[in-house]
């Protein structure tokens, strides 16, 4: 015996495999909940795929930045208004960078993150060295130490 279902348009019995009702001609697609579930699942797969692509691209940029620069800290000191970290960044590539930034995360004696010290420059040319002076504005808290965070570039 054939499996039947009711036509949602006219109410007659129709084969479950039928694409349209032979009585009224109405379309017999999947129920709305199944179509919505398929749409939601499709959107989720697209979002996951895009986030994976973006994550891979960010990892590639991070890897390129690590291979593109070296840095040396030559001096670190504070005054009553700021904390300073001085040194050099070397562009290790035969490539010009339109923007380069160096960042340090600074901590107090208890190990609390109290902020960042940063410096940036425009147009760091191929194989060129940049003398940086990263500044962190910490007037309320005394800086115990700062750790190198990253060098980013465009």
* Residue 111: CATH number of its domain: 2.60.40.3230
**With bands split at pLDDT 50, 70 and 90, how would you rate the model's confidence at 136?**
very high
Residues 20 and 78 both lie in one domain: no
Predicted pLDDT of residue 3: 83
- Helices H, strands E: what count in the chain? 1, 8
Which is more confident, 25 or 151? Answer: 151
Tell me the backbone φ, ψ of residue 33, rounded to 5 degrees.
Answer: -65, -35
Give the structural domain span for 91: 69-153
Residues 83 and 143 both lie in one domain: yes
Residue ranges of the alpha helices (H) in the chain? 32-68
Predicted pLDDT of residue 132: 98
Q: If we measure between CA atoms, which residue out of 131, 103, 106, 98 comes closest to residue 119? A: 103
Q: If we measure between CA atoms, which residue out of 104, 112, 107, 108 comes closest to residue 151? A: 104
Q: If we measure between CA atoms, which residue out of 120, 113, 121, 119 comes closest to residue 147? A: 113
Predicted pLDDT of residue 94: 95
In a domain, 56, yes or no: no
In a domain, 8, yes or no: yes
Q: pLDDT tens digits for 48-105? A: 888 877 776 666 655 566 689 999 999 999 988 899 999 999 999 999 999 999 999 9
Predicted pLDDT of residue 63: 56
Give how many domains the chain has, as a whole number.
2
Residues 93 and 20 both lie in one domain: no
Secondary structure of residue 42 in the 3-state scheme: helix
Which is more confident, 28 or 112? Answer: 112
């Amino acid at each position: 015996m054939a499996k039947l279902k009711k036509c949602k348009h006219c109410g007659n019995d129709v084969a479950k495999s039928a694409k349209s009702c032979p009585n009224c001609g109405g379309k017999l697609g999947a129920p709305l909940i199944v179509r919505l579930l398929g749409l939601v699942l499709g959107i989720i797969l697209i979002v996951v795929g895009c986030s994976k692509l973006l994550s891979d691209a960010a990892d590639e940029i991070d890897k390129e930045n690590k291979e593109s620069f070296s840095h040396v800290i030559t001096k670190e000191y504070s005054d009553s208004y700021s904390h300073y970290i001085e040194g050099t960044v070397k562009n290790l590539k035969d490539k010009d960078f339109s923007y380069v930034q160096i960042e340090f995360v600074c901590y107090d004696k208890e190990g609390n993150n109290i902020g960042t010290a940063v410096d940036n420059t425009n147009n760091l040319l191929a194989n060129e060295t940049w003398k940086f002076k990263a500044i962190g504005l910490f007037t309320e808290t005394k800086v115990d130490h700062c750790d190198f965070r990253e060098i980013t570039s465009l």
